[in-house]
Structure 1
Amino acid sequence: MHTLAVADGIRVGLGELIEIRHRARELQLFSSAARRSALLGAHHSRLRGRGVDFDQVRVYQAGDDVRNIDWRVTARTLEPHTKLFHEERERPIFILAEQSRQLFFGSSRLFKSVLAAQAAALIGWAALEHNDRVGGLVFGSSAPHEIKPRRSKQSLLQLLNRLVRANHALHGELPDEPDSFGQALRRTREVLRPGSLVVVLCDERALSDTAERQLLLLGRHSELLLLPLSDPLDHALPAAGLLRFSQDGAQLELDTHDSGLRQAYRSLGQARQARWERLAERLGSLLLPLSTQFELIEQLRERLQPRPVWRP
């Protein structure tokens, strides 16, 4: 295993991802017996309940969901009966974490690739603390590597080690696997049981038409927690004069003193954010955008704290 303790914001070390387990206790990521929270742990969650087990059949009562009518029992007894379910006490949590050249960038506190690894570790430790099975898949610039969900520290350490290896392999000239996000989503659909919770950590710009279709299909049988990652420069260009960019032999020049160019660039960033918001609404999923501009724990604490209800 990699044991480098890198803390420069460009690379991530396994020691850093292990130590973050202590900080997971600062957030109520998963529910406890006395308090509900945003993510599903050993008890109920405010995410919509897809993880349910069959409990019993009883006579239909006004207000019951007609989709749960047991037609066989109804036909046999000539009286409407409905199926009852109870929420699972635990479920597999599958962390889908990107480590690609797209994420190998940051203009603020750290690179997006480091932020993705930190968030994956934080959620993994929190899930393990509440006796959930944890696994995941790392995708991006190398072939995706899957860790089967288990209620085991060793399983989480395998995932974190895979994250570190993928992170340390990133560099500016590394080619990304074509449609790596879509492939990872398809693989996730193949291996996960219905009712799992899928945590999606990817570049905000990764939401292509193909990826969106795969997320909608995945959302039919699993719950999704969406954490798109961005950097301030993804949303706005500074008025810094002429900027020159080069990649794979291609070159680009941008005059950032052009206010029209800056506005068009800002509009593209706003459109990406709006697309994620529309998708989360369609899925009924929790959306927690993360930025390299702010500290991870503080961002999550701000986004997860209950909002006051205004009353006239």
Structure 2
Amino acid sequence: MNAKVKALLIKTRRRLFGQNVGNNISAFKGNGIDFAELKEYSYGDDVRKINWKVTAREQKPYINVFNEERELNIVIAFVLSGSIYFGSVRQKQEVMAEVLGLLAFSAVKNSDRVSTLFFDEAVERFFKPTKSPKTLSAAVEHAMNVEVLGKKADMQALASYLLNSVKNRSIVLLVGDFYDMPDLSYLGAKHETYAVIVRDPFEEAPQLYGEYDLLDPVTQRHTVMQIDTALTKEYRARLKAHDEALFEHFREHRIAYTKIYTDEDPFIKLREMLK
């Protein structure tokens, strides 16, 4: 394990296991007896949890949501792509590894089991459900060191894989840069799904002018391109439209999401999302 991985693990575990218990980002919910809240019924919810009084009053079904009192099934999917090999402040891959560590160790602190999946167009590596800090450390180390150049993310293949392989209702956390537009409607209906989008500020607002030799990190092809103000403006508009459609899809299918930039603290953004 290299020094950079060790430093990241120390930082991650210190944030979660330090003195300040109030900063714990664990907010996972499941099948307990401690009532938490009401929510509108969605496909895949347990019909046994329907609150019939509220359903009758509101004329649409609502279910009771409980705080978890037994271990949850948590799956973290780390989406591999050549595009995460980039960063003007920190590498996106490094920030994603920190996100993975924060989520995984938070779940263990909450006495839950965690599965970690690395996926590009198929399964690259899978860490079985565990509560072992040693295994989670190995998953974070793999996230930091796995070769991503030349890899292509296929979010639709990932969603299909999770639907078919994760049988029981689970908490599924997807970590990637989300340049592939997925259909997560079925996944969001079956599982409590979260999306963590990791981006670099420069790739959303590039300051470039002139001729550049660009390398596509997915295809690894070179392209010589003349970049001017009109081109960067068009690029920003297309990316904004992509993200607006992505966020609308998440909201429509009740998928909680957050966007973390490489110059931000992932801990704060994750805590806000999980609240």
Question: What TM-score, normalized to structure 2?
Answer: 0.78
Assess, with a 3 A threshold, how the Cα gap between structure 1 residues 222 and 106 changes in structure 2: closer, same or farther.
Answer: same
Indicate how the Cα distance of structure 1 residues 46 and 63 shifts in structure 2: closer, same or farther if over 3 A, else same: closer
Gaps of 5+ in 2: none
Q: Which amino acid is the alignment partner of residue 189 of structure 1?
A: L
1:219 to 173, 184, 188: 188
Task: Tell whether 2:214 aligns with 1:245.
Answer: yes
| 1:14 CA drift (Å) | 4.8
Cα distance per residue 1:132-159 (max 9 Å; x no partner): 1111201238852122323333442343
Q: Say whether residues 1:133 and 2:113 are aligned partners.
A: yes
Q: Alpha-carbon deviation of 1:126?
A: 0.8
Q: Which amino acid aligns with 1:112?
A: K
2:80–2:118 CA contact under 8 A, matched in 1: yes
2:259 to 289, 297, 309: 289
Letter in 2 for 1:100: S
| In structure 2, C-alpha distance between the alignment counterparts of 1:105 and 1:239, rounded to whole Å | 16
Task: Trace 1:137-286 onto structure 2 (pairs within 5 A).
Answer: 137-140=117-120, 143-166=123-146, 169-170=147-148, 174-177=149-152, 179-207=153-181, 212-213=182-183, 215-247=184-216, 248-256=220-228, 258=229, 260-286=230-256
2:189 counterpart SS class:
coil
Deviation digits for residues 198-247 of structure 1 (CA, Å, limit 9, x no counterpart): 1110113122xxxx22x211111101111111111222221443333134
Q: 1:44 to 1:21 in 2, by over 3 A?
A: farther
Which digits, 9 at most, give the CA deviation of each residue in 1:16-73, with x for residues without a partner? 2354111135634224xxxxxxx43887777968775958x99x657359998xxxxx
Q: Could you tell me which residue of structure 2 aligns to residue 77 of structure 1?
A: none
Provide the TM-score with structure 1 as the length reference. Answer: 0.70
User: Which segments of 5 or more consecutive residues in structure 1 lack a partner in the other structure?
Assistant: 7-12, 32-38, 69-82, 307-312
Percent identity (aligned): 18
Q: Is residue 53–residue 88 contact of structure 1 (8 Å, CA) maintained in 2?
A: no
- Distance in 1 (CA, whole Å) between partners of 2:178 and 2:154 is 14
SS in 2 for 1:220: helix
Counterpart contact for 1:24–1:123, Cα < 8 Å: no
Partner SS for 2:150: coil
- Alignment partners' CA distance in 2, 1:29 and 1:51: 24
> Which range moves more in the overlay, 84-93 or 156-165?
84-93
Give, in whole Å, the separation in 1 of the partners of 2:94 and 2:35.
Answer: 31
With 222-231 and 41-50 compared, the bigger mean Cα shift is at 41-50
For the pair shown, the structure with the greater C-alpha radius of gyration is 1
The letter for the 1-side match of 2:243 is Q
Match of 2:9 among 13, 17, 28: 17
Change (3 A) 1:233 1:133: same
Q: Which has the higher contact order (CA 8 A, sep 6+)?
A: 2
Query: Residue 133 of structure 1 contacts residue 150 of structure 1 at CA under 8 Å; is this kept in 2?
Result: yes
Cα RMSD, aligned residues only: 3.5
- Is the CA contact (8 Å cut-off) linking 1:92 and 1:133 kept in structure 2? yes
Asked whether the 8 Å contact 2:37–2:65 carries over to 1, the reply is no
Task: Verify the 8 A CA contact 2:250 2:257 in the aligned structure 1.
Answer: yes
